Amino acid sequence: MQDRLDHARLAQARHARERRTPALVLSALGSLDDRVRGLRAGGDDYLPKPFALVELAARLEALLRRPEEGRATRLIVGPLDLDLLDGTATRAGRLLGLLPRELKLLDYLARRPGRIVTRSMLLQDVWGYTFEPNSNVVDVHMGRLRRKVDGEGEPALIRNVRGQGYVFDVSG
């Protein structure tokens, strides 16, 4: 019974803060009623124990692929201000003059601050590729984007993580 109350409290607290982070409920309670209760309490998915780690990983990947509900058309992260309706981006008031693909790329990065974004993720989610071409298209676009976003004397917002991908970093 305690486990059921914890699910409800978690979901209520999450919704009270209007969090958009997906929630995967991991529980020892696996009956149909328990799963339905967990989902109705605000869980986005429910995985009863015991479970295989490969299934946990697949469910987490699926949750992260889901589009955000009611995506904001204006995004402000640190000194960066993206207006997706107007197709403009500014950094500390300086207009960046981004091309549509660059704006989409910056939007993708800015919605994942501090997280490593791989080239594969960018190819799939920004370009719509379901395969990895033998191409440097991501690197070329990232180089152009970084030159526009990171002006002289400004701390870098987009960092390369060698062998892994890129990080949007507003902490510096």
Residue 106 has pLDDT above 90, yes or no: yes
Q: How confident is the model at residue 136 (pLDDT cuts 50, 70, 90)?
A: confident
| SS3 of residue 49 by DSSP | coil
| SS3 of residue 160 by DSSP | strand
- Three-state secondary structure along 83-144? ECCCCEEEECCEECCCCHHHHHHHHHHHCCCCCEECHHHHHHHCCCCCCCCCCCHHHHHHHH
- Is 0.85 topped by the overall pTM? no
Residue 70 has pLDDT above 60, yes or no: no
Give mean pLDDT, residues 159-165: 90
The Cα 115–Cα 146 span in angstroms is: 17
The pLDDT assigned to 5 comes to 46
Give mean pLDDT, residues 46-64: 87
Give mean pLDDT, residues 84-108: 91
| SS3 of residue 22 by DSSP | coil
Digit-coded pLDDT (tens) for 11-46: 555 555 545 677 888 888 888 888 878 777 777 788
> Which candidate, 149, 123, 145, 151, places its Cα nearest to that of 135?
123
Q: How confident is the model at residue 1 (pLDDT cuts 50, 70, 90)?
A: very low
The pLDDT assigned to 10 comes to 60
Main-chain phi, psi angles of 168, to 5 degrees: -90, 115
Give mean pLDDT, residues 104-125: 91
Q: How many CB atoms lie within 10 A of CB 109?
A: 24
Contact (CB, 8 A) for 153 and 94: no
The pLDDT assigned to 110 comes to 92
Give mean pLDDT, residues 41-56: 86
Q: How many CA atoms lie within 13 A of 154 on its CB side?
A: 20
The pLDDT assigned to 36 comes to 79
